[in-house]
Structure 1
Amino acid sequence: MSGPGPDLNEYPAAPEAAVADDAGPPRMTLGAQLIRFALSGGVAGIVDFGLLLLFLHMGLPFVVAKTISFIAGTATAYLINRRWTFPAPPSRKRFLAVAALYATMFVVQVGISTFLHSQLPPGTVWVLLAYVVAQGVATTVNFVVQRQVIFKLV
């Protein structure tokens, strides 16, 4: 239709419209992702370690306490990372890949933590040491696999 006033077809589309068909937001730099991963991991670590200490204080066996705390911390990490660190829309394939990674990391982290806990003297500082060593291994593997594989899945 022509008539008085501007022809809206002569103006370029808004930037949002121009990228509407894009597969998602632009990928963050490695440094930005590392910072976000560390912050979200810190929150998840507080959940995990806090619950571990609580459950041990309540008298639960170490493996049971660690299993429950790991699940809570892992769920926290996944939710934050999917939405903030590696922004991605929900995907069944991605969710299944994360579930497989976390199941593997469960065996690794709980295995290392339980082994170290059995070898170290009793006390919170030794529980913390076992936690830090096991978490360090799991965190490194998690970041690399999530960045290079999982959050590239559609």
Structure 2
Amino acid sequence: MTKEKIISTIFNNVTEHHGILNSLEEMKFISEHNALEVHCIDFIEKMTDPNVTKLSRAFRMTRGAISKLTKRLIKAGLIESYQKPENKKEIYYRITELGREIYLKHQSLHQDRIDRDILFFSQMNECEKDTLIRIFEKLDKHLKNELEKKGIENGKYSE
């Protein structure tokens, strides 16, 4: 087996294990609302003037599916819709106080994951850390380029 194949295999194993750990932690957090609902709340809080079009691009889902999702979140009291005085045609969304609680718990979950991984990385010497930073930056750039080839900008939602 080539070193490139060994590295790729190990990297895939690491990302799979990392994903499983994250999923297990998320399952504890998400009881009443599914991951899609929680991430929708997250996007709405982070976007400027979130609407169905922006959310459908962010999730890579149809506008109809996003409309159903936002209606569920409105019914649950997690988000609310609003219109701007200068644009009565477009409907925008913002999170409610109840939605903010879920948003903050979700942010805390992400921070806990980072803290968990920091414990591992803190055991490395400075040279190892510098090498990993360079490798991960190159890998991140490579993966972003691959996503852009598939029409996905920055691997994240776009406004």
- Determine if the TM-score, normalized by the shorter chain, exceeds 0.5: no
Q: TM-score, normalising length from structure 2?
A: 0.28
- The structure in which a higher percent of residues are strand is 2
User: Which has the larger Rg?
Assistant: 1
